Structure formats: structure tokens, C-alpha cells
A = this chain, B = another copy of it.
Amino acid sequence: MSGRPINPGAELHLGKLRSVPHLGSVTLRDYCGTDASISRAARVSYGRHNATRTESDDAKLIGYLMRHRHTSPFEMAELVFHVRAPIFVARQWMRHRMASINEVSLRYTEAAEECVMDVRGLGPLCADPDSKDSKQGRGEPLTVGAITAADTAQAAWGSFGFALDLQQSDLEYKHARKAGISREQARVLLPLATMTEWVWKVDLHNLLHFLGLRTKPDAQREIRLLADEIAAIVADAYPLTWAAWVEHVRDAPRISASAWRALAGIVDADRLADALAALPDRERREILAALTAAWSAGDAR
């Protein structure tokens, strides 16, 4: 082997700014590894990493690794991004500890002329959620649906007032700076909507964990839009891993032991063989075993 493994899907994205209007951007700066690096690392465990393998072998192995949460081979790919986003997004982003970060500091750097996010990046302003299901998130956009006159007025105020308020915070910072106050003190006036940027280096396993949390429907819209841009890059650069992750993690339901026993009891056993026919052999056997275990548990009661 000579030269680094080249990842054609990643190369397409290198250095290309992916912008989310009024909100921020992500750019892939560097990477190492491909789907084949992942399967090759996994095969080291079996002492077979030098054998020739086809892409279909790789797909099967990567599906198996993902399904059984053998996560270490997915750490063998690494991606480096440059991210621009408002501080309230950066705060969520940096809770993911297994990554390397260098962020611009407002102790060292003057906040830029236009340092506060464009209010349009927030999308339609939304009413407080009153759903019983979730303590987080936002409800319906104030400007959507059969709203009353009073609502309309509020919504109109909302967007307009919001923009004014953000401009106001921006002015307060500049005001303090002109009065000779140090950067590190003046910045406390800046709002959470202030833009920041950072280099973000993360391995693929931890990146998928990030995407799992931040592309979910109940993630805050602003981080979700940026996470979706990253997801699009990952889907191109690691197509086998991406497909396996969607199948076995992202779109897989979370079924508790009790729920599984309940469902096992109302599955039509006669149609089981047909229904599962399209699954890979091994997965089908595992599901039949799990059903059998649930039926036994049911009988035992």
C-alpha cells in the first residue's frame, strides 16, 4: 500500500461551504478513512484484514457491526469541519465531549461588525409549546394556521421586535467597546444569538452519535439544520456506514422488553416466515429467537 486511502465522496465536499441561510455554515476541511478502512479495521480482529473483499462483503460486515454496536471500527474514520453558528447552537454542540475543538475567543478577538445572527435564521417565531408530551421545543409558528387578529399582531411584533432587540444588543457591545471597556468584559452584553466559529474534529462513531441526537425531530431547529448539512456529507463519504446507521440506529424503533412481549403476543405467526423473508439470514434468525424467547416468557406466566 502506498498513499493514503482516498474517499471520493469526501473529496467532493472538501473546502465547499454548505450554508444555512441566515444561520451559519459547515465546511469539510480534512478527513481520514473510508468505509473500507472501517471494515478492514474490524477484520484485524479476525486476522483477515489482508484478504481481498468486495464492497458487498464490506456492506454486510458494516451492517453486522452497526447492528451489534461493535463501535470501535467506526472510530477509524475522522472528519474535520469548520463550523459557523450562533452561540446558543455552539453551546449544545460542545456538550459532545469526544471531539477536538478550537473556537474563536471573544477575549482575543473583536466581535465582528455584524456579529449577531440574522433573525431570519430563526425561522417563523413560534408560540410556547403546550404539548404534554415534551418539556422542550417549540409549538406552532405564530404566523401559521387559523390565527386570530390578536395573534397576528403578536406575530408581527415578534419578528420585527426580535430583529430590533438583536440589533440593540449588538449596539450595546459596540457602545461599551467605544467607551474603552475590555473585550472580555464587553462581551457579556452580547446575546446568545452572537455568531461564533470553530474547528471541529471528530471520529465517525462519535459523529453518528451527534447526528442521532441533533437531527431528531425534537432537536432545536437551528442545530438540526446545521446537523443536516453534516449528515449530507457523511452520507456521501461513508455510504455503507450511513445506510447501516439509518437501518439499525436512526430509524430503528426503541422497543422495551415489556413492549416486545406484548407485541410478540399479537404477531400473526403464520405469516412470519413470509414477512421476514427479505431480511439477512442472520438478522432473521435473531428476531425469531427473540420472538421465541418472548413467547416462552408469556407461557411461563
Contacts and interface: CB of A to CB of B under 8 A. Distances in A.
A296 interface: no
7 contacts: A72-B100, A72-B101, A97-B97, A125-B182, A127-B181, A139-B182, A158-B181
A35 interface: no
A245 to B, nearest CB: 11
Contacts of A88: 187-188
Nearest to A213: B69
B267 A263 contact: yes
Given A15-B3, A108-B135, A193-B188, A165 B158 contact: no
Interface of A: 1-5, 11, 14-15, 29-33, 37, 41-42, 44-47, 67-68, 72-73, 75-76, 78, 80, 86-88, 91, 94-95, 97-98, 100-105, 107-110, 117, 122, 125-129, 133, 135-139, 142, 151, 154, 157-158, 161-162, 165-166, 168-169, 172, 175-177, 179-185, 187-194, 197-199, 201, 203, 220, 246-248, 250-260, 262-263, 265-268, 271-272, 275-276, 278-279, 282-283, 285-287, 290
A15 to B, nearest CB: 4
Contacts of A282: 133
A287 B253 CA distance: 8
Q: What DSSP secondary structure best describes chain A's contact surface?
A: mixed
Contacts of A32: 30-32, 78, 80
Nearest to A117: B188
A95 B95 contact: no
A177 B165 CA distance: 13
A85 B27 CA distance: 33
Nearest to A72: B102
